[in-house]
Amino acid sequence: MNTVRLRPHSVLATVFALAAAALAQQEPAPPSPKSPAGPAPVAAKEPRRTPAEAKKFVESLGVELIRVDQARTLDTEWGPLELAAGKARALDRYQVLLAEELQALGKPLLQKLELKKVYVCGGMKLAGVTRGATPHASARAMYYDATWGQWSLLYQRRCVHHELFHYLDERDDGKVYQDPAFAALNAKDFTYGKGGAAAQGDDKASLPTAAVPGFLTPYARAGVEEDKAEVFSFLMIDPGYVAARAAAEPVLQQKVDFVRKLVRDHCPEFGPDAWPKAAPTAEPKADPAPGPAPVAPRAKRR
C-alpha cells in the first residue's frame, strides 16, 4: 500500500520505497480456481452499463478512466510502473465493473480522495514486481489490472475497494504501515506478519474464514494496513458476512467501527447511510466464473 507524502530523494523516501517494494512482493495471489469456496459470498452484481456508458459514468464522478491499449511506463516514487496493454474485451468488462464499485463509493468520497485518474490495463509491474493493482496517492491515480483474479467477479470487485482503501489510508495521515490504535484492538500477544509474507503463496489467504476471531481472512493478519483494507473491502462487498461475524466477535466489531470512523473522518458525507446494506436474504449464487467464491484483495500494494 502505500506510502505517503514522500519527499523524493530524501532518506525517508528511500526507506519507504524499500518498504513499498518489499510489500509489493507480499500481496497474496488471488485464490485460484481450485481453491475451495469460502463462506457464502453475496451474489455478484451483474454489469448493467455498456463499456461506453461505464466510462461516461466514471468521468461524471470526476475521475478520468484511462484504457491502456498500448504498453506504457510511468515514473513513480517507487520506481518504474510498467503497464501492459489490455485486450479490448477484458478492459470493457473491467470498466463496467469499476463503474459500479466507484458508484458505491460515491462522488463525495472520490472528491475528498481527489482521485483523478484510474488506469485499466492488462498487467503491471512496479519496480519489476508483478502487481494486480497499484494505489498512487501522490499522483491522484489508481492502476488496475483488468485480468487479475478475473475468474471471480466478487474477488475483482473487492480488489477495487481493498486497493482504494490503501489510497485513502495513505492520504489519511501518511502512515500506512503503522496504526497503533487499530493494532491495539487485537489481543495483547498478537503480532502482525511482515506485510503478507506469511500469506504469500497461499491462494486461500484471501478467502474469508472465521478460523481466527477478529480477522476476516488469513491475509488480514499479514499487516495492520492489510487488516484495515480487508475490513473496508468486505464492508463494501459483503456487509452481511461482516455483520454476522462481528455479532459474535467483539474485536471484529471494533475494527468495523474503527474503519467506518476513519472513512467518515475523511469524508463526513460517508455516514451510516452510505455503506452498502447487509442483505440477509441474498442468495449465495455462484460466481459467473467457475472459481472460488469470494475474494480478496489483492494485489499489490505496497
Binding map of Zn ion across residues 100-129, x = CB under 5 A, - = no contact = ------------------------------
The nearest distance, CB 64 to Zn ion, in angstroms, is 24
Q: Which is nearer to Zn ion, 134 or 186 (CB)?
A: 134
Residue 115: what are its φ and ψ, rounded to 5°? -75, 120
Residues 24/124, Cβ–Cβ less than 8 Å: no
Task: Please give the C-alpha separations between residue 35 and each of 31, 117, 219, 245, in angstroms, as whole numbers.
Answer: 6, 33, 15, 22
The nearest distance, CB 92 to Zn ion, in angstroms, is 26
Q: Which stretch binds Zn ion (CB under 5 A): 56-64, 179-187, 232-240, 294-302?
A: 294-302
Q: Which is nearer to Zn ion, 55 or 301 (CB)?
A: 301
The nearest distance, CB 188 to Zn ion, in angstroms, is 25
Which spans in 27-146 are helix H?
A: 51-60, 88-105, 107-113
E strands, the chain, are: 64-67, 72-76, 79-83, 117-121, 124-126, 129-131, 133-136, 141-145
**Size of site (CB under 5 A) for Zn ion:** 3
Q: Which is nearer to Zn ion, 229 or 231 (CB)?
A: 229
Distance, CA of 59 to CA of 118 (rounded, Å): 10
Considering only residues 131, 136, 157, 301, which one is a binding residue for Zn ion as defined by CB under 5 A? 301
Sequence letter at residue 151: W
The nearest distance, CB 295 to Zn ion, in angstroms, is 13
Question: Is 302 near Zn ion (CB under 5 A)?
Answer: no
The nearest distance, CB 27 to Zn ion, in angstroms, is 6
Distance, CA of 40 to CA of 52 (rounded, Å): 32
Q: Which is nearer to Zn ion, 227 or 287 (CB)?
A: 227
Q: Which is nearer to Zn ion, 96 or 224 (CB)?
A: 224
Site for Zn ion in 198-237 (CB under 5 A): 226, 229
Binding map of Zn ion across residues 158-197, x = CB under 5 A, - = no contact = ----------------------------------------
The nearest distance, CB 162 to Zn ion, in angstroms, is 5
**Number of CB atoms found within 10 A of residue 150's CB:** 17
* Residue nearest to Zn ion according to CB distances in the complex: 301
Distance, CA of 261 to CA of 283 (rounded, Å): 29
The nearest distance, CB 299 to Zn ion, in angstroms, is 7
Binding map of Zn ion across residues 254-283, x = CB under 5 A, - = no contact = ------------------------------
Distance, CA of 24 to CA of 127 (rounded, Å): 9
Sequence letter at residue 65: L
Distance, CA of 111 to CA of 63 (rounded, Å): 9
Exposure string over 189-204, b if 16+ CB within 10 A, otherwise e:
eeebbebbebbbebbb
The nearest distance, CB 177 to Zn ion, in angstroms, is 11
Site for Zn ion in 39-98 (CB under 5 A): none
Distance, CA of 105 to CA of 275 (rounded, Å): 8
- Residues engaged in binding Zn ion (CB under 5 A): 226, 229, 301
